[in-house]
């Protein structure tokens, strides 16, 4: 890992605007200090009114090291035994062509698999020329949504369709905000400022979470729920509010579909069930029900943490449905804080040239390792390209992913900014630019602002933007179609509409809130309507019933196979796995455990321990804390393999076969473990 990184070269400081592209809902505007073509300091800027000059410590501390530190990839390389040797770009492209061609000549183009996700969220870097290339090649396609966020998206869409929800800034008009399964100070920082305004105006904030997170300490009510039981709480609240006769019957009749079925289904859960199943007190339950009944404008913010159990999709639907039953839509401050990025009219089919998408097999990204290792398949995988992704650090069943990428019959090419655990397993490595080194345009999945960024430094070494790498690959493969000649400006202009100008000419250092400063121009059940088959909020979903037998939210009780449940939330050092190779993540990762569980095992605070189950073992440093509940342990996600003496991280303990109720999404939190002294 990086040691003693020097971020202070001498010379004139240039201060330039940029945007943070990482996998986070906030997509902050940045102000970057540059000296002699080096990023030396990164701060927040006021260009984006929502992020308003504030950025997380992760970005401020680690970006200069990420760009210029010892893990940075600066030249194409090929594997020679256990080492890597620098090669020219021409040689590297020839090697990729040879590796892909060997696979396709033996088994056809579907023997090539792109293994990518969402490292950068700029529209060009995340998915443009790369998808054009793999569509043209005829490669196997990936369904990436099940890895993270797709379950929440499917649950939201089942209720509202593609209609955007409330931007977080609009919640300043709420008098009750429920934060459900979202550690916002770590993963949605700027919403904390909104909550302060809510409380300052006399409103209330409720946090529902398995852990007493920082925001819980600043809330009016905290419900420490047992992981995976949120759907029971949501349904029981609906039943209780119905029993009290406080539902908004007029709104329900006009704007919802399937309310009778939903309420009949919810009636199976009582307050006693909440106490027994969710481990929430009767008093706390009734306090929350009272506040929901009294609220004039209620906002519900549901995090992705909620989706990561067998009942994950159901839990999200049950939480979001409370607003519909109470008539909490159709005015400022009343609604679900989600999908506000959908206010931006992105034209991704055009950007990615979806018309060229082949009729190829589609693999759930969670099954990628299993598919690679299946050598008896009619079309076995012969070549993989890992980019915008660190699958070793982020996929469940980590040991199997390592085995897959090391398989002697599979050619693996990697493209990344840093030498990650995944890049170390590749046969050829192509060095990618950071977003500080190329043009891009940004929407957000957490707010409604559009921003554009231009390079603040020249590419480091021989690194190239994703778009240029795939242009060169297309040329090497003889793909001469005009779509592979598009410049980055032309790609930006194909990425979205509705800005009042060409996206490539959108002014730097500014942002535009689509739908109004706080989304006041697009409010569900007022100025816009749900884009569902019924045109209403669908409390019962025929679509989910036909596809997943999940038309109504259902609780799935997963039996514990070991004494502790493992929860892997966001880290305060990394954004997912990004920055995992920087000095902030040096050393052993932390395991958080309740004092009763530590005492029962004879363990003490600060001790090195082994977290284990039948899939593997990980060494960690124990932090004894009453912020967690007995029977549940917490380890931040995204650590790299060298943080553990076993060479594995907590992802090695999570089964890739643990799935939730919608879209075969990952049920990360249905993982059961135990702990012993190292």
Spatial separation of the C-alpha atoms in residues 138 and 654, rounded to whole Å = 32
Torsion from C-alpha of 627, 396, 27, 209, nearest 10 degrees: -30
> Would you state the structure tokens that stand for residue 220, as one six-digit string?
């009016």
Q: Which long-range contacts (CB under 8 A, 24 or more apart) does 44-50 make?
A: 45/17, 45/509, 47/17, 47/451, 47/509, 47/510, 47/511, 48/449, 48/451, 48/511, 49/169, 49/449, 49/511, 49/513, 49/517, 50/26, 50/167, 50/168, 50/169, 50/190, 50/447, 50/449, 50/513
- In this predicted structure, what is the pLDDT of residue 1? 39
CB-facing half-sphere around the CA of 526: CA atoms within 13 A: 18
Residue 7 pLDDT: 58
| Residue 36 pLDDT greater than 80, yes or no | yes
Helix (H) or strand (E) holding 150: helix 150-160
> What pairing do the DSSP bridges indicate for beta strands 77-80 and 83-86?
antiparallel
- The C-alpha atoms of residue 24 and residue 435 are separated, in whole angstroms, by 15
Token pair of 207, please? 């946090």
Taking only the tens place, the pLDDT of each residue in 243-252 is 999 999 999 9
Contact 335, 530 (CB under 8 A): no
**Which band of pLDDT confidence, cut at 50, 70 and 90, is reported for residue 6?**
low
Q: Is the pLDDT of residue 3 over 80?
A: no
Average pLDDT in the 109-115 region? 98
Give the mean model confidence (pLDDT) for residues 383-404. Answer: 98
Tell me the average pLDDT across 236-264. Answer: 98
The predicted pLDDT at position 9 comes to 79
Over residues 409-433, the mean pLDDT reads 98
- Lowest mean pLDDT: which of 6-20, 432-446, 552-566, 601-615? 6-20
| pLDDT at residue number 119 | 87
Mean pLDDT of 423-433: 98
In whole angstroms, how large is the CA radius of gyration of the chain?
Answer: 25
Chain centroid to CA 493: 26
The mean per-residue pLDDT over the stretch 273-290 comes to: 98
Mean pLDDT of the chain: 97
């Amino acid at each position: 890992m990086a040691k003693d990184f020097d971020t202070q070269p001498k010379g004139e400081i240039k201060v330039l605007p940029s945007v943070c592209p990482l996998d986070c809902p906030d997509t902050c505007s940045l102000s970057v200090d540059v000296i002699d073509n080096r990023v030396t300091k990164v701060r927040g800027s006021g260009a984006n009114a929502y992020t308003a000059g504030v950025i997380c410590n992760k970005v401020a501390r680690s970006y200069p090291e990420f760009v210029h530190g010892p893990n940075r990839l600066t030249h194409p390389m090929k594997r020679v035994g256990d080492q890597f040797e620098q090669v020219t770009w021409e040689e590297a492209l020839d090697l990729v062509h040879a590796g892909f061609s060997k696979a396709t000549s033996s088994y056809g183009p579907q023997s090539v698999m792109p293994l990518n996700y969402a490292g950068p969220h700029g529209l060009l870097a995340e998915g443009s020329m790369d998808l054009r290339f793999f569509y043209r090649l005829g490669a196997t396609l990936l369904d990436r949504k099940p890895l993270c966020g797709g379950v929440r998206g499917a649950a939201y869409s089942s209720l509202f369709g593609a209609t955007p929800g409330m931007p977080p800034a609009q919640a300043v008009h709420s008098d009750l905000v429920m934060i459900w399964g979202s550690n916002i100070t770590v993963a949605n920082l700027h919403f904390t400022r909104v909550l302060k305004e809510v409380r300052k105006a006399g409103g209330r904030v409720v946090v529902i979470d398995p852990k007493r997170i920082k925001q819980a300490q600043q809330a009016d009510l905290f419900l420490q729920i047992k992981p995976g039981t949120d759907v029971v709480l949501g349904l029981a609240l609906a039943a209780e509010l119905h029993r009290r006769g406080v539902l908004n019957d007029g709104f329900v009749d006009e704007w919802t579909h399937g309310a009778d079925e939903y309420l009949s289904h919810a009636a199976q859960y009582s307050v006693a069930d909440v106490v027994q199943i969710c481990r929430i007190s009767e008093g706390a339950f009734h306090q929350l029900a009272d506040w929901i009944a009294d609220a004039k404008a209620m906002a519900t913010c549901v995090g992705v943490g909620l989706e990561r159990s067998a009942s994950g999709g159901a839990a999200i639907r049950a939480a979001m449905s409370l607003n519909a039953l109470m008539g909490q839509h159709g005015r400022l401050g009343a609604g679900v804080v989600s999908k506000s990025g959908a206010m931006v009219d992105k034209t991704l089919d055009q950007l990615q040239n979806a018309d060229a998408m082949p009729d190829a097999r589609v693999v759930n990204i969670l099954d990628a390792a299993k598919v690679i290792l299946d050598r008896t398949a009619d079309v076995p995988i012969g070549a993989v390209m890992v980019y915008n992704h660190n699958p070793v650090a982020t996929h469940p069943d980590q040991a199997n992913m390592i085995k897959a990428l090391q398989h002697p019959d599979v050619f693996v090419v990697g493209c990344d900014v840093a030498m990650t655990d995944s890049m170390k397993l590749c046969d050829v490595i192509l060095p990618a630019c950071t977003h500080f080194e190329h043009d891009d345009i940004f929407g957000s999945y957490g707010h409604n602002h559009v921003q554009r960024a231009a390079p603040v430094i020249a590419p480091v070494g021989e690194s190239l933007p994703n778009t240029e790498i795939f242009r060169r690959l297309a040329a090497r493969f003889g793909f001469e179609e005009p779509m592979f000649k598009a410049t980055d400006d032309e790609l930006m202009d194909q990425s979205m509409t509705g800005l009042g100008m060409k996206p490539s000419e959108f002014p730097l250092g500014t942002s535009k809130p689509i739908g109004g400063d706080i989304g006041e121009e697009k409010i569900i059940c007022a100025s816009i309507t749900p884009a569902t088959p019924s045109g209403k909020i669908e409390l019962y979903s025929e679509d989910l019933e036909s596809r997943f037998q999940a038309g109504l939210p259902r609780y799935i009780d997963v039996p514990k196979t070991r004494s502790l449940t493992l929860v892997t939330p966001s880290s305060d050092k990394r954004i997912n796995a990004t920055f995992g190779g920087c000095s902030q993540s040096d050393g052993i990762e932390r395991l958080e455990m309740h004092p009763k569980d530590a005492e029962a095992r004879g363990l003490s605070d600060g001790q090195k321990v082994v977290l284990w189950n039948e899939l593997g073992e990980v060494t960690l440093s124990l932090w004894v804390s009453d912020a967690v509940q007995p029977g549940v342990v917490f380890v931040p996600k995204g650590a790299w393999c060298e943080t553990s003496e076993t060479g594995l991280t907590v992802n090695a303990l999570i089964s890739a076969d643990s799935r939730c109720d919608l879209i075969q999404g990952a049920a990360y939190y249905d993982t059961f473990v135990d702990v012993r002294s190292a």
